[in-house]
Chain A
């Protein structure tokens, strides 16, 4: 369950965003996760409330966007989707491929509520 440690790191980043922007509440947190990051979206969602309890993100909704694995073939140049345990070209079956998506574990967006209307 390293997803709890990942959630704690996430909350620390979100707390920093909240502080920098004088937020008093976090409404939602959007993360993107690929299967090659070693993180399970389901487990992340389960661990999240434990890590968020007692923080500025306590009531925030966690939105996990899962990114499929994509590879680019060095032989035929095709870009195709692949399974994490079969990183082969979907077009010609070659294993000389580069992973172009699916490794990410990113904090994308934080939706916050500040105390007052900002002064312009």
Chain B
């Protein structure tokens, strides 16, 4: 049972085997169903949302390919907002506690989910992780998804905002190659722009065009974790979202 809300969503239940019967002649029926295949995940995601809303917490999911700078951005954000906003992080990785340790070293609570073979987080994993986090008194809960530009796009976690990072060394054609991930984002961050002078092939204009062509309609912020106007714009976006969430909760 869920400690936070008393719901019956415990850790994922083991599936009862349902063995096929031996073939004999029977009656054949064709049954129309029409349900979303990930309906169960979607329902847990909606439930996660009630946890966040019940505590007035803004929940933000960060997605990108491995190494685009998700954890670095979180570290820099935590330092910049110290004493202003209370943050916590759920870290998703295939293996290791490295990223959660990096976040804790910045003085912020972090729960590490190690997914083993799963290349994405799902709503149940996030719900499990919520049990180990003090949601009371939090302003923002970040979820750092597994580094992967494909799989996480299909699984709703129940967060309020989805962010996709595209780092300069990856190349400006990534939205065209991974359209589903970028299309579903609410905000796109072009990261590591301090490397632009060294990587002439990367055109910010082409990256922006590519994002438009895959149907991305949100804001695009160019930044480096080292600070500057782009980083300030990111903090401004985050503050605006927190304010909007508080207004919605009040």
Contacts and interface: CB of A to CB of B under 8 A. Distances in A.
Interface of A: 1-2, 5-6, 9-10, 12-13, 15, 17-19, 21, 23-27, 31, 35-39, 54-59, 84-88, 95, 97, 99, 105-118
Nearest to B173: A85
Contacts of B151: 1-2, 38
Contacts of B20: 24-26, 55-59
- By size class, the interface of chain B is 35 or more
Contact of A99 (B177, B212, B215): B215
Given A54-B19, A84-B179, A85-B210, 15 more contacts: A1-B151, A2-B119, A2-B150, A10-B37, A12-B40, A13-B33, A13-B39, A26-B20, A36-B179, A59-B20, A84-B180, A95-B213, A95-B215, A107-B34, A114-B28
B180 A107 contact: no
B36 to A, nearest CB: 6
A2 B27 contact: no
Nearest to A118: B27
Given A2-B154, A25-B21, A54-B19, A105 B37 contact: yes
Interface of B: 15, 17-21, 23, 26-41, 118-120, 122, 150-151, 153-155, 175-177, 179-181, 183, 210, 212-215
Contact of A85 (B32, B119, B122, B176): B176
B40 A9 contact: yes
Contacts of B18: 15, 18-19, 55-56
B34 to A, nearest CB: 6
A95 to B, nearest CB: 6
Contacts of B118: 2, 5
Given A112-B28, A117-B27, A106 B180 contact: no
